[in-house]
Amino acid sequence: MRYYVHTLGCKFNQYESAQIDKLLRYSGNVRSKPEDADIIVINSCAVTQEASRKSLQMARHFQKINLNSKIIFTGCVVHDRKVDDFTLILGNGEKLRISDFIDKTGLFSDPIYHLKDDLKYTIEKMPNHTRAFLGIENGCNWGCSYCAIPHFRGTRIRSKPLRTVIEEIQEMIRSGIKEIVLTGINIALYKDGNVDLHDLVESILELESDFRLRLGSLDPLSAANLSDLFENPKLCHHIHLSMQSGSDDVLKRMNRHYSSQDILNVVKIFKNMDNKFAFSTDVIVGFPGETEKDFQETYDLLKEMQVSRIHVFPFSAKPHTLASTMKGQIKEEIKKKRVKILKSLARELSKNYLKKLEGTLQRILVEHTKNDTVEGLDQYYVRHKVKCEAKEGNFVECKIEGVHS
């Protein structure tokens, strides 16, 4: 049979989709375009109400463009709401056993799957990618007041054994992968016996091969605890900080266990190491009770941090969360206004950051080639287009002459 896998949401979802692709391929199926596929798998995201809506919309879109396909809808949306209008519906536990369900129809979703699953599976590479995500951890027990992910993924923390991680990376390198991104639901919680995230990263960096390592999303305190490891040139000088707000009052209501000063401290640590060190970040605006003063504190902190990218989200009240029941819900028009303001700041800060790279020599991992132009990311998570001849999956060094976009 021919199949197509479409992924929405986080890097960990994309990693799981790579495992779904592997299972289907190893069962003798062939990857194809969606309009030609006998099976279309939609791996959904439910981190916000909008993400859930888009996931369902995408599945219905594929239904329309390929009336003969079997739609398999899976992922976090299955744990978020009632889904019953697709041929086969699989929960997060079942999707990684997709071969067992491929000939079935209906809903299969164990609500307590997280009490018995593990991360002992591996992949060789991401389909059609020169970079690879590597899932090292699943689940979260931090209890942030706005987050429904523990409801979808469970509060039991599952960590991939150190030996399995090392073997998976070695296999990825043998398959031609040159950049590996560690990901999970909350990688700061990684624990394999006495081995924590610091130990894991240190072990990976000891591997002798020409590759680079990038860390997935981290909270400020966990990022600071890893600072000594960034002296190794294999570890990219970029961190995606899970910041959420720059207001201490809002952070407390979110049940985040750090302050705005902790955020500034970690930025200073890494900027002192490398003044081009890149921080991208997530920010939620319009959290219940967020005042103009709170919002201004967030704006000012982002400006002081000089981040390279800002991912801005309006607060989305999710069922199963404390924040959905909080007093002081913010009007939609105020949320939209604040999102617009931060997106404008994001463009300004991104442009300022890119100017720092002018005149510098950067090592770019080639992801795409077209005629005499290659495209790829540097260690700072900046995308470049360069006129030169190079093969996909190889590193190329170039001097940055200017910023065009």
Residue 120's alpha-carbon distances to 38, 134, 165, 168, 346, in angstroms, are: 29, 12, 9, 10, 39
| Whether the domain at 2-115 and the domain at 238-356 fall into the same CATH topology | no
118-216 topology per CATH: Transcription Regulator spoIIAA (3.30.750)
The answer to whether residues 217 and 147 touch, using CB atoms and an 8 Å cutoff, is no
238-356 topology per CATH: Transcription Regulator spoIIAA (3.30.750)
Q: How is the chain split into domains, by residue range? A: 2-115, 118-216, 238-356, 361-399
- Supply the pLDDT for residue 129: 84
pTM for the full predicted model: 0.94
2-115 topology per CATH: Rossmann fold (3.40.50)
What is the pLDDT confidence band of residue 389, given thresholds at 50, 70 and 90?
confident
The pairing of strands 131-138 and 238-244 is: unpaired
In tens, the pLDDT along 251-301 reads: 999 999 999 999 999 999 999 999 999 999 999 999 999 999 999 999 999
Helix (H), strand (E) counts: the chain:
13, 19
Question: Residue 396: is it exposed, middle or buried by C-beta count within 10 angstroms (0-12/13-18/19+)?
Answer: middle
Structure tokens at 334: 């105020």
- Supply the pLDDT for residue 405: 59
Phi, psi of 258, deg, nearest 5: -150, 170
- Supply the pLDDT for residue 319: 85
